[in-house]
Every structure is written in structure tokens, then in C-alpha cells.
Amino acid sequence: MVSDVFFDLDGTLTDPKPGITGSIQYALERLGRPVPSRDELEWCIGPPLLENFTALVGPEAAPRGVALYRERFGDVGLFENEVYAGIPEVLAHGSKRGVRLHVASSKPQVYVDRILEHFELRPYFDGVFGAELDGTRADKRELLAFALEETSVVACDAIMVGDRGSDATGAFHNGMAFVGALYGYGSQAELAAAGATQWVRRPFDLSEALF
């Protein structure tokens, strides 16, 4: 029986596209680099921020890109975000069934906490786990290992829910089951390549898949 479910944040609980892509555009403009459209930057939703900027501007300029991104994201982009329809109902259903719910996000914990509080999702979760601002635990394998240790959850009794291949990789690396969120920003092919075999196409379908 599943005792605990860990949810990714971006692309799983909330749709953060305007805030993330807009803040990347801001950083690229400040750096004097070409600025892709928001649709062209969708691939940046999910992976660690430093990894994204390394791909966009190279390793030398990437730390400056992250700092500029946070100039905008910390005040504006953070709340250019929307809870997916059906997610509060899914969380409420899981809580009523006695399943412990957690968040495990590669986003820095300081932002994760503020987003959950802003959208009134925090009461649903027993634990909230994010990365440090310096990138520590941004890798989902490391993050989930830390979360399992902190909660004393047995991995084989837990499920990770996420929309990107890195979420699946992190789950399987730690002996957890995984359910993909195809309504987010990863494709079925990406999830399958990471070893996933179970996914849902709508947030509403998570209740049946998880509980």
C-alpha cells in the first residue's frame, strides 16, 4: 500500500510558464544575448536553473544569468503561476485517504515555500523539500534521497509524481514508483526514455492512479 506521495511543483502542481520564461527572457536581455520566445523556452521548465543557463549562455556566464533571473523571479515571476485545475481536489482526496503528501522540487526551497503559501496549498503537505540557492539538492536523485531520509519513508511504499524525465530518474534511482504528469512540460517519449510506464493526461486522473 502506498503510504506517501511526493509531488514535483513546476508542471505538476502548478503551471509556472509565464514566470519562469519571462524571468529567463529578462536575464538574457540583461546579458545582451538573443531572447527566444516564451514558447521556445518551455524546455527550461523543470531542470535546475544553472543547467538551463549553462545551455543558454555557456558555463562562464551561467551564474550571472541565474542571478539576473532571480532579480525578476523573486519579486514578480514567482507568482506568475497558476494551480492546475483539479489539483486541490486531488490533494484533498489523498489526505482524506490517509496518504501523507509531500513536495519535492528542484526549485530553491525559499521559492517553493512562498508559492505553496500563496496558492494556499501548504496545508495539504506533511513535508516540503527543495534545493538550496547554491544548487545543493537540485538534482532529483539527491533531493529525493534527502526527502526519504528526512521523512523516514520506505521508498517502496512511496510514489513520485512529476512531468519531466529527471523526476522519473530520481524516483527510480531511489527505489520509488513513478507516475508521469503528461499535462505538464515533459513528453511521453521523455518519460518513457527515463523508464516510466505509468502516466496521466489530466490532473483529475491522479486520484485514481495514486489513491
Q: What is the DSSP letter of 210?
A: H
Catalytic, 8? Answer: yes
The CA distance from 130 to 108, in Å, is 5
Sequence-ordered list of residues with C-beta below 8 angstroms from that of 187, at least 6 positions apart, any chain:
none
Residue type, 199: W
Q: Name the catalytic one among 4, 8, 10, 139.
A: 8
Nearest one of 159, 160, 168 to 190, comparing CA atoms: 168
User: DSSP per residue over 28-85, as a string?
Assistant: HHHHT-----TGGGGGGSSS-HHHHHHHHH-TTTHHHHHHHHHHHHTTTGGGS-EEPT
Residue 28 vs residues 59, 66, 81, 90: alpha-carbon distances, Å: 14, 10, 21, 37
Q: How many CB atoms lie within 10 A of CB 98?
A: 9
Annotated active-site positions, please?
Answer: 8
